[in-house]
């Protein structure tokens, strides 16, 4: 049975990234009626940032060259580490159980929201591989950061996530769906780009639905 892990990270309750991830999730669930589904709102229910005890767990996993995620719990040896592991364990269980990981996230200040970064930090350990899973990122950006645009070099959202999922998790299937120029709806200086935004958003909605049933 396939399982979808759906994460949203936007601080806005009604956001473009939430809409896009919702379209994907609805289409996936319709196509996989027997599939499992887990949802986390990382903005409404934030994951705590890592602390000293988490770094100790990380060091012990690395020192022991433990690559089996199911054995990470073996390194817990202090009350503080047990407390840190109590945060990590359910997040990691959800991630490992998923065949598809769907992340709805906006670009904030050229990068990702701190809520998403906190989740990534909690579930990431040395030499940890998630090969065979599919990652889909449904995103929204205030400006235009696509290939060939003047701001392409400032896109540290897609670049970071792609490099991390491919480079650390060894995930081979990573797809991004973006709605661009969303600030054209509120910024008078971008008002002349609203038609471009509408085309981008329409294309992103269509692609999100198609990707879910590929």
**Is 165 labelled as part of a ligand binding site?**
no
**Is 10 labelled as part of a ligand binding site?**
yes
Q: Give the SS3 label for residue 105.
A: strand
**Is 16 labelled as part of a ligand binding site?**
yes
Q: State the Cα–Cα distance between residues 190 and 95, nearest whole angstrom.
A: 39
The answer to whether 152 and 113 have CB atoms below 8 angstroms apart is: no
The answer to whether 6 and 22 have CB atoms below 8 angstroms apart is: no
Residue 127 CB-density burial (10 A; 0-12 exposed, 13-18 middle, 19+ buried): exposed
**Is 200 labelled as part of a ligand binding site?**
no
Count of C-beta atoms within a 10 Å radius of residue 85: 17
DSSP helix, strand, coil percent of the chain (3-state; round to 5): 50, 15, 35
**Is 128 labelled as part of a ligand binding site?**
no
**Is 183 labelled as part of a ligand binding site?**
no
Residues in the chain: 214
**Is 114 labelled as part of a ligand binding site?**
no
**Is 1 labelled as part of a ligand binding site?**
no
Q: What residues are designated binding site?
A: 10, 15-17, 107-110
Q: Which residues belong to the annotated binding site for FMN?
A: 10, 15-17, 107-110
């Amino acid at each position: 049975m396939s399982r979808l892990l759906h994460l949203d990270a936007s601080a806005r309750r009604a956001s473009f990234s939430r809409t896009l991830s919702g379209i994907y999730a609805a289409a996936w669930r319709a196509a996989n009626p027997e599939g499992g589904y887990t949802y986390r709102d990382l903005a409404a229910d934030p994951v705590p940032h890592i602390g000293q005890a988490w770094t100790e767990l990380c060091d012990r996993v690395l020192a022991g060259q433990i690559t089996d995620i199911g054995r990470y719990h073996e390194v817990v040896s202090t009350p503080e580490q047990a407390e840190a592991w109590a945060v990590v364990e359910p997040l990691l269980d959800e991630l490992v159980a998923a065949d598809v990981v769907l992340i709805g996230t906006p670009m904030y200040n050229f990068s990702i929201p701190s809520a998403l970064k906190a989740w990534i930090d909690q579930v990431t350990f040395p030499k940890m591989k998630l090969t065979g899973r599919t990652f889909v990122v449904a995103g929204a950006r205030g400006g235009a950061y696509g290939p060939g645009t003047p701001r392409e070099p400032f896109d540290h959202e897609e670049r970071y996530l792609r490099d991390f999922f491919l480079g650390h998790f060894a995930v081979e299937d990573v797809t991004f769906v973006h709605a661009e120029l969303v600030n054209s709806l509120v910024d008078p200086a971008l008002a002349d780009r609203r038609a471009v935004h509408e085309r981008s958003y329409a294309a992103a909605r269509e692609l999100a639905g198609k990707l879910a049933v590929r």
